[in-house]
Homo-oligomer: A and B are copies of this chain.
Amino acid sequence: MQRLRVRQALESEAPKENIVVKGWVRTKRENKGFAFIELNDGTSLSNLQVIIDEGAQGWDELERATTGASVSISGNLIESPGKGQKWEVKASELRVIGEADPESFPLQKKRHSDEFLRSIAHLRPRTNKYGSIFRIRSEAAYAVHKFFHDNGFRYVHSPILTGSDCEGAGEMFRVTTLDPYDGKKATPEDDFFGKNTSLTVSGQLAAEIFATSLGDVYTFGPTFRAENSNTPRHAAEFWMIEPEMAFADLKDDMDLGEKFLKSVVSHLREHCAEDMELFSKWVDKSLTATLDTVVEKEFQRVPYTEAVEILKKNAKTKKGKDRFEYAVEWGIDLQTEHERFLTEDYFKCPVIVYDYPKDIKAFYMRMNEDNKTVAAMDILVPRVGEIIGGSQREERMDVLTRRIQELGLPEEEYWWYMDLRRFGSVPHSGFGMGFERLLMMVTGVANIRDVIPCPRTPKHLEF
């Protein structure tokens, strides 16, 4: 007998005899002489309805087929006479594989809070919402790889362990084979790698190695921040996507970012329609509108200096009240309220702000001719805020050396990074995007913990 996945059964084009379906019982309704089982095997949000008549083989097992139990059902796939589904299975045999004691199985049919479900992260993907989230996460990762692959980018596994503590993107975790608690004095030389070792905060520097040899490349891997912040937008471990292009300037970078976002969102709308709908219906009513602007509208591109002018001109509301909590001056980093004003109120579409003041951006960003701004760009999305941050990299040996010295960075640590400028240097550009930010954007889920299989935050390291 042929085993059908639930998704295959639901998408069937014709009735099928003698099939087997396996999965977990979501609900069961018992009537006199027959019973319905809603079966789910994780392949789709929708359940497959199973009808079993009294007297069918395994009818006496029905009692044990409670919510959460795993079962195997043989029978025929037939057109459903009932409403709400095209197909159902008429069972000839029911077999319970693994029980789920109704007294202790936590996922009974009722609404559970996200907080509670985080405490059983090993079971939450068995719920509708988290099943959908992790199917979307999977398909989004595929969309990312497919986009870059189809556009000629090579995938690079940038290293996770790094001896450089100057990737410049935040607090780092340390890695050791010594016991960090035993109170014994030691030196880096005693350790596994013979030097200070950390977990990467960005794959960019390594991506630059490969952009300047293979051409267009991207990384997609885990990155880490040891920041002790308990916000809905921060996790200690998350995945980043970092493309890097050789012979490319800031405009190319903006073009790539816009094309990339449009492509991934379109892919998900096409391939995860059912799962995506759950979120626009139940999680975020404005989701469809937000994603429409990403896919359909041309992103507005505005220099930082002009963005600041716009914000200053709109510092007061029509009623004369202060619009912003944080005052706007040239040189500040834009706050969420400023970003939201630009995207939601002023331009009403995604916005790319570029040419930022050098003092609020990283050392490796290319200095503009004004000597005050660098060729950086951030992509802002309505209701979401910053989703992508990128720049053209400083490819001029002398300018980069000066920047490193100005900022007091340890020049000798960058010897190989400088070599990329010393030998056949080329203009190159790239950006970084937190994969979870993307998932929060496409689902409307507000807490990063809820789009990560096993989230890691301060004092949380379970599963």
Contact = CB atoms under 8 A, between A and B. Distances in A.
A181 B175 contact: no
A180 B180 contact: yes
Q: Which of A199, A215, A222, A425 has the most CB of B within 10 A?
A: A215
Contact of A461 (B161, B199, B462): B161
Nearest to A160: B222
Contacts of A137: 155, 157
B214 A157 contact: no
Contacts of A159: 237, 453-454, 456, 463
A239 interface: yes
Interface size grouping (class) on chain A: 35 or more
Contacts of A122: 209, 416-417, 419-420
Q: Give the interface centre of A174, A193, A423 by most chain B CB atoms within 10 Å.
A: A423
The copy count of this chain in the complex is: 2
A66 to B, nearest CB: 9
B5 A215 contact: yes
Interface string A318-342: 0000000000000000000000000
A409 interface: no
Given A416-B463, A453-B159, A97 B186 contact: no
A462 B215 CA distance: 22
A421 interface: yes
Interface stretch (A81-89, A138-146, A293-301): A138-146
A454 to B, nearest CB: 4
Contacts of A176: 173-174, 176, 180
Given A175-B175, A461-B161, A125 B214 contact: yes
B138 A454 contact: no
Given A98-B423, A176-B176, A461 B197 contact: yes
Given A214-B42, A215-B5, A158 B247 contact: no
A408 interface: no
A25 B246 CA distance: 15
A126 interface: yes
29 contacts: A5-B215, A22-B247, A42-B214, A43-B152, A68-B424, A98-B395, A98-B424, A104-B422, A120-B416, A122-B417, A131-B214, A134-B154, A138-B155, A138-B156, A138-B217, A161-B236, A162-B461, A163-B461, A173-B177, A174-B175, A174-B177, A175-B175, A179-B180, A181-B191, A192-B458, A193-B460, A193-B461, A206-B454, A416-B462
Interface of A: 3, 5, 7, 22, 24-25, 41-43, 68-70, 72, 97-101, 104-105, 120-123, 125-126, 131, 134-135, 137-138, 141-142, 145, 149, 152, 154-163, 171, 173-188, 190-195, 197, 199, 206, 209-210, 212-215, 217, 221-222, 224, 226, 228, 236-237, 239, 246-247, 395, 416-417, 419-427, 452-454, 456, 458-463
